[in-house]
Structure 1
Amino acid sequence: MRMRSSERKRTLQRACVLAALAFLLAGGVAAPAQADTVFSDQWHLNAMKAQEIWRTSTGKGVTVALIDTRVREVPELAGRLLPVKSFAGADAAKLDEYGTTAASVIAGTGRGLGGRESAYGLAPGAKILPLVIPDGRGVGNAAAQSEEINKGLAPAIRYAADSEAKIISVSFGTYTDDQPVRDAVEYARSKGKLIFAAVGDFGVDDPQVGYPAATPGVVGVTGIGKDLKAIKKAGVGITVDLSAPGEDVISACAGGTGLCRSRGTGVATALVSASAALIWAEHPTWTANQVLRVMVNTASGPTSGAVRNDYVGYGAVRPRVALKAPGDPGAADKDPIPDYRTASPPPPRPASSPSPTPSKEHADKAGAAPVLDAPMSSVTDGGHSASFWAALAMCAVGVLCVGIAGPLLMADRRRARLSRP
């Protein structure tokens, strides 16, 4: 009796499925749980063990006031954004949309257009209050640019202080120490807010910390790369307090493919702010001082063994450690950063005389370790990636399918020849 064509196909399909199952169950290869996804390429989240963190906290119930340029309502931020407040005046529409990137690094939900899987933020349960300020471009020299930024920055900080946000995240800054900004910081601190600001990416010949990161009461944040060292061109100084990944950070963004690779102290500040949101969501009765103390106490620390240095501060934030073993949060009303209210601004720098470049010996000690609780690379198993082993599994299954299907086809052809008249 001849087998119908459809029956032969079903037989071959069952054979291939059985072969695949037999191979996998025999221990030939472990199927990767996150193979070929956006999340698997977000090295900073994998290194920080985000999936483990999310079993404890996603930042739900905490709002981060993001002071940046424009924020677009991309799919990954659906349900995460509060109404935007602009302090950029008539120039708001001309600003770039880097704020979208920073917001996504904090609170991206991993759900892209049409529900497809996309990039996650470190605190996907947190809310974002977008506060738009001018970036100072196109208004003249550095002094004029700083003045333009500070005009928006001071009222934005005050607005955030009066909002529901517990955390204020400032993605960029200026060279100028501005009194209205200092007063706004004081006001926000009096309202119990925790303020983080990027130390700046001014260049290797000009490594000073910008403002408001250098303003007393603000936690200065720098970026580190996969080599665990402070990224090049980042600000250096006594007001560098904490660090986070600031290189090759994949997130949702505006325009193009909807995914971007970002670098800089601004994206690192977003990750530190997200870390604070994770901790505060788990300990809602803590004060800003207590959240910050736990972040400092659980930071990785410089490789030299010092408590801090001018390149990475107290080290890289480790929210997984802070959530698992926070230790004593300490006094509610005592700031843990020793330079709070005592840090002096750096002396004025002549425009023609840049700050000295850090020595190579000093720069080589600018790393932080142990840093993010996990390997810095997805390369495993003798140097081969998960994608390699997945491909190998497919090849092996294909060989088994051919081995089983071949005899079946030959037998079927023999039966077909014998049944012919």
Structure 2
Amino acid sequence: MKADEMWKVSTGQGVKVAVVDTGVNPDTPSLKGQVLVNEVPKAVAYKATDDYLGHGTSMAELIAGTGAEGGLKGLAPGAKIVPYRIALKGQNKSDLEKAPDEAAVIRAIADSDVKIINMSYGGNIDEPDVKAAVKYAHSKGKLMIAGTGNDAQEKNFIGYPAAYPYVVGIAASDKSGTVGKFSEHGNYVDLASPGLDVPTWCDNTFRSYCTGQGTSQATAIASASAALIWSAHPDWTANQVLASLIDTAGRDWAKDDPSTYLGYGLIRPRKVLENSAINPGSAGTDPLAKENAAGVTDATGAKPSASASTSSQAPKDTSGGQTSAAGSSSESSDNTTMWVALGAAGAVLVIGGGAFAVIRSRRGA
């Protein structure tokens, strides 16, 4: 999936992506002119453009950065970002109290003309009001994408909002095509996307980039992939955009037997863009209907108890952060390649396809 070739077909132009995160700094060189600050409803606009961590800005750049002045160039540089800040780990008490409610933010986005909601955060708290807001956003035709979480090596808890019905759960793979050991797995993993050794801002000073890893980055790249497709096919519904990503995902197992590590496989938007006659299926058919009807189950196939879904992890922790080299934090399961180049020139976010193998686990019914 060569970015330069894809950009001849689509850059994501005309597609708005809501980044619900730690805030988005619209003044980095790569995001100047890319962030639609005035489109955030006042009721949920608290510090939307004040990124206290650098995380939300990094996600925005991975999606729609222009690469100006040596900055990060995203996979969908023609798309636009609508920023939102919610209560996430690392904020002071005052900001936590004033931050917009997550459910209110999702509902506000649902009532806007944003097409994609990027949620590069997660926790193991199942909140009924957020679940209801997600259902509402789905009814309004939004495509919601979230990271499955980064705690697989410690507890592999069921991560929300990725585990909610109608949210596409994204796992992370590295540049050699391996699934990150940190990438949480389960029957709520729907697709995989590159998420290791990805440049992100080191902190909220926005002076330099660090190498990061996480399902956050994978989620942003998945959202950008969806933006490329939706821009090329503006009449498609969210169901059809998602169906096309699922149908063309890289995998070496049966489509009707998704992996608990990689879901339906690794995203390959190039396969959609290169086929102008591709059939995305019915506009009203949910490609994840089976999963959404069954709900989330644990490793034994049982549904989690209420107590297991309401731990002490509040506010939710972001599914990302800067780390050192990720070679020791990955586990082989495919051979798709991804790399990101800094600078205004050259191909950026280039992803190559290949066969999937090694780690493969059937989902429980």
> What range describes the TM-score normalised by the shorter chain of this pair?
0.7 to 0.9
Task: Work out which of the residue numbers 294, 301, 308 in structure 2 matches 1:342.
Answer: 294
- State the match for 2:29 in structure 1: 75
After superposition, residues 8-407 of structure 1 pair within 5 angstroms as 48-73=1-26, 74-83=28-37, 85=40, 87=44, 95-112=52-69, 117-137=70-90, 152-251=101-200, 254-301=204-251, 307-325=257-275, 327-337=278-288, 338-344=290-296, 346-348=303-305, 349=308, 367-369=333-335, 371=336
Larger Rg: 1
In structure 2, distance between residues paired with 1:94 and 1:284: 31
Q: Give the TM-score normalised by structure 2.
A: 0.76
Q: Deviations over 1:292-349 (max 9, x none)?
A: 0000001112579984211111111111111113732001101111202331354133
Counterpart secondary structure, 1:278: helix
- State the match for 2:363 in structure 1: none
Q: Residues 229 and 195 of structure 1: is their aligned pair in 2 closer, same or farther, counting only changes over 3 Å?
A: same
Q: Residues 208 and 79 of structure 1: is their aligned pair in 2 closer, same or farther, counting only changes over 3 Å?
A: same
Residues 103 and 130 of structure 2 are in contact (CA less than 8 Å); yes or no, is this contact kept in structure 1? yes
Q: Residues 305 and 126 of structure 1: is their aligned pair in 2 closer, same or farther, counting only changes over 3 Å?
A: closer
Residues 150 and 178 of structure 1 are in contact (CA less than 8 Å); yes or no, is this contact kept in structure 2? no
Residues 105 and 252 of structure 1 are in contact (CA less than 8 Å); yes or no, is this contact kept in structure 2? no
Q: Residues 237 and 302 of structure 1: is their aligned pair in 2 closer, same or farther, counting only changes over 3 Å?
A: farther
Residues 37 and 49 of structure 2 are in contact (CA less than 8 Å); yes or no, is this contact kept in structure 1? no
In structure 1, distance between residues paired with 2:254 and 2:260: 12
1:78 deviates by: 1.1
**Residue type at the aligned position of 1:332:** A
In structure 1, distance between residues paired with 2:53 and 2:37: 18
Counterpart secondary structure, 2:130: helix
**Residue type at the aligned position of 1:107:** A
**Residue type at the aligned position of 1:331:** S
**Residue type at the aligned position of 1:204:** Q
Q: List alignment gaps of at least 5 residues for structure 2.
A: 298-302, 313-328, 342-365
Residues 197 and 218 of structure 1 are in contact (CA less than 8 Å); yes or no, is this contact kept in structure 2? yes
| Percentage of matched positions with identical amino acids | 40
Q: Deviations over 1:9-36 (max 9, x none)?
A: xxxxxxxxxxxxxxxxxxxxxxxxxxxx
Q: Residues 298 and 93 of structure 1: is their aligned pair in 2 closer, same or farther, counting only changes over 3 Å?
A: closer
Aligned length: 308
**Residue type at the aligned position of 2:232:** E
Residues 104 and 252 of structure 1 are in contact (CA less than 8 Å); yes or no, is this contact kept in structure 2? no
Counterpart secondary structure, 2:245: helix
User: Which range moves more in the overlay, 294-303 or 304-313?
Assistant: 304-313
Residues 109 and 121 of structure 1 are in contact (CA less than 8 Å); yes or no, is this contact kept in structure 2? yes
In structure 1, distance between residues paired with 2:97 and 2:286: 31
Residues 292 and 336 of structure 1 are in contact (CA less than 8 Å); yes or no, is this contact kept in structure 2? yes
Q: Give the TM-score normalised by structure 1.
A: 0.66
Q: Residues 260 and 164 of structure 1: is their aligned pair in 2 closer, same or farther, counting only changes over 3 Å?
A: farther
In structure 2, distance between residues paired with 1:199 and 1:250: 20
Alignment RMSD (CA, Å): 3.2
Q: Deviations over 1:185-214 (max 9, x none)?
A: 111111111100111112402113310100
Counterpart secondary structure, 2:101: helix
- State the match for 2:322 in structure 1: none
Residues 31 and 61 of structure 2 are in contact (CA less than 8 Å); yes or no, is this contact kept in structure 1? yes
1:159 deviates by: 1.1
